[in-house]
Amino acid sequence: MYGSLQELCELEEKSGKPFWKILQEDDCREQGITEEVSFEQMRAMYQAMKDADARYDEKLKSFYEKIGFSELCSDREIMVLTAD
């Protein structure tokens, strides 16, 4: 496990493993899953992002933009306020 990007970079250098592999191994340990399951989850997330990008319509406004809330708060603050 790592606590910062610096630690992760040091671990990459020390282990000789690529950045993504260290993240994947940590994810597998944390979730108790195999590398195959981890890759399948990554594929599904990538596909969801790709699909969302294809459906994106810049002319649409979010609920927060419609009520003027986005002018009061940054996107990050809105994400924090609306997180489950």
Encode pLDDT of 12-40 as tens digits: 999 999 988 998 999 999 999 999 999 99
Confidence (pLDDT) at 84: 46
pTM of the model: 0.54
Average pLDDT over residues 49-76: 72
- DSSP per residue over 20-47, as a string? HHHHHHHHHHHHT--HHHHHHHHHHHHH
Q: Is 57 exposed, middle or buried (0-12, 13-18, 19+ CB in 10 A)?
A: exposed
